[in-house]
Structure 1
């Protein structure tokens, strides 16, 4: 059997939009007919798992059917959060093993911090997707800049974590392994053009230095938040499924999602979205 593709959504800073990104990647893949397994390692919040629990409840109540991911059982997240590292790793290994035997794609959402579970997930990634806000506060986890000149000085803590993941996987598999790392600027504001130009320049320099691609993210749109309680994304909206009023902003959001899938190389998901549009 072919090994499933493993996509890890990672960033050690909270509030960057990891779960939002994971939700949209998973739903895009599901609509493309892919068998997707999800593993939510944000043990306290578990936004990714709750989103799909909402999806099950809403579609059942409204008489609709939508594709769902495979969710390996890791037990109660709040209890597991308090468990020791050995117990957490054991549960993760079991969930990952089940996902490998059941899915074409595994999407892992990681917490906003450096944890043993997050490091283990990064070490299994074929693709790492890192969302960051349009801010030097978020960039600081990727690279350090001179406070006077804003020149790039060196890679920062999360860049080092990805480098370690690449190294450990190469050692474990006994060969050179390429982990495709994509950084997407998320929650873009309309203004702040000067800040964006400065940030984009440093991003380009750091990308060459540590080896990531810069991809399109999702703007700060209400639609991404207002569909969460229903377990829906813009990819799910149709003439029958429309719990909120549809506007031109939703069309733009759908195009953003399409651009994201294209950057990730998920062409079948793009085709499915175009067919449903």
Structure 2
């Protein structure tokens, strides 16, 4: 007998744009499909539509090149079409319910703090937050403006960390489910700098305090950006055999396995697939 389960939700979120959420969300979704999981993607920043356009470009590229590549279902959700936040929430819930036939729901959020974005964070079983080596990104997690006055171990939380904490509490009170949070250092420069070492040190010390996992990092590689506009990923290109391309594929696989291992941890079933 098949045991029906709800689709597991992975949300890619940060209160700042330009950190690589859409690119990594696409790579994660496609790697999951290559691992025989069914996936539906939601672009909650539908007014900008970065993830949506990339997947549509993937469909078009496959048709033009007569290729048979995995393509996830994609929903473009435009919050601006709803007159109230409550209406947007209800519409989003209906969309998510319509896609409960897949194993994973991958949601790409807006690069800003919005009421709908906060609601989406509550939906996550695993939240993934990319962060670059910019101090501006770090400031969303901990208030580094006071770093000269006190140890980073006692610095007040930044705005995004506070928001995630609030949504964790709300999720736990409503569903008794725990939200696993993964922070991913993205676009890591291959030449180690003092800033890079400093930020990594702070993130490692903040991990147990704020309550996030520091996941596998992703290097700064132009191949990600070059392929993204076509809706392609480093997993699609078997002919890419340079060391940089092989390393890029391994980084995505490592990050994907890390996230999937957390999903298995929070799932009440042994298999994250929707039917067993």
2:232 corresponds to which residue? 232
1:151 and 1:202 in contact (8 A); partners too: no
Q: For residue 91 of structure 1, report the CA deviation from its aligned partner.
A: 2.4
1:29 corresponds to which residue? 32
1:92 and 1:117 in contact (8 A); partners too: no
Alignment partner of 1:45 is 2:48? yes
2:253 corresponds to which residue? 258
Aligned length: 255
Measure, in 1, the Cα distance between the counterparts of 2:190 and 2:149. Answer: 25
Q: For residue 5 of structure 1, report the CA deviation from its aligned partner.
A: 1.2
Measure, in 1, the Cα distance between the counterparts of 2:54 and 2:137. Answer: 25
2:43 and 2:76 in contact (8 A); partners too: no
Alignment partner of 1:61 is 2:60? no
2:198 match: secondary structure: helix
Match of 1:165 among 161, 164, 167: 167
Residues 150/107 of structure 1: CA separation in 2 closer, same or farther (3 Å cut): farther
- 1:67-146 superposed matches below 5 A: 67-72=70-75, 74=77, 77=78, 80-81=79-80, 83-84=82-83, 85-99=85-99, 101-145=100-144, 146=146
Measure, in 2, the Cα distance between the counterparts of 1:164 and 1:134. Answer: 25
Residues 73/249 of structure 1: CA separation in 2 closer, same or farther (3 Å cut): closer
2:188 match: secondary structure: coil
2:23 corresponds to which residue? 20
Measure, in 1, the Cα distance between the counterparts of 2:225 and 2:126. Answer: 25
- 1:187-198 superposed matches below 5 A: 187-198=187-198
2:158 corresponds to which residue? 156
- What 5-or-longer segments of structure 1 have no aligned partner? 240-244, 268-277
Residues 227/91 of structure 1: CA separation in 2 closer, same or farther (3 Å cut): same
TM-score normalised by L of structure 2 = 0.86
The CA deviation string for residues 157-176 of structure 1, in whole angstroms up to 9 with x for no partner, is 11111111111111212x3x
Q: For residue 73 of structure 1, report the CA deviation from its aligned partner.
A: 6.0
1:131 and 1:217 in contact (8 A); partners too: no
Measure, in 1, the Cα distance between the counterparts of 2:26 and 2:59. Answer: 14
Q: For residue 263 of structure 1, report the CA deviation from its aligned partner.
A: 2.1
Q: For residue 149 of structure 1, report the CA deviation from its aligned partner.
A: 5.2
RMSD of aligned alpha carbons: 1.9
